[in-house]
Amino acid sequence: MSGPIHGEEYVEWKAEGDAILEPLGGLQGDPVRGKAVVIDRDSGNCLACHLMPIPEQPMHGTVAPPLHGVASRLTESQLRLRVVNEQLINPHTIMPAFYKKPDEYYRPHPAFKSPVLTAQEVEDVVAYLKTLK
């Protein structure tokens, strides 16, 4: 499927090993917008599970690894695959896939068969995570 998703076309991507080497759709990420997605409880909501160096935000989760220094441990390409679909790295993870093919999502209502994030939001989140060294 390649219809509109959140106002944009779905961008095909390919995992190579534990990474997606190229930015989705060749898009440039913005770390400021990425941080906003990370803390937004209606989109990324990363703080629900991860402890992050965002002290101004309350209630960080502890069920997933802390993301302090994540850019020192993972490359940009590795971060991208983890945001897009961590389940390809760890099939037992509880982390949702934020950008997989719409037909691969199980959702009871067709209106909700779309990625959680847009390709631009994925690249923005990756840009923000790259700042966490």
pLDDT digits (tens, 9 = 90+) for 11-21: 999 999 999 99
What separation in angstroms does the CA of 52 have from each of 40, 46, 67, 90, 102? 13, 9, 5, 21, 29
- The mean pLDDT value for 48-60 works out to 96
CATH of 4-129, one of 3.30.750.24, 3.40.50.1110, 1.10.760.10, 3.40.1500.10: 1.10.760.10
Q: Which of 98, 87, 95 is nearest to 67 (CA)?
A: 95
User: What integer pLDDT is reported at residue 93 of this predicted model?
Assistant: 96
**Does the predicted TM-score (pTM) go above 0.85?**
yes
Assess contact for 20 and 31: CB atoms under 8 A: no
What's the chain's average pLDDT? 91
User: What integer pLDDT is reported at residue 114 of this predicted model?
Assistant: 73
Assess contact for 82 and 74: CB atoms under 8 A: yes
Identity of the residue numbered 33: R
- The mean pLDDT value for 49-70 works out to 96
- The mean pLDDT value for 65-86 works out to 98
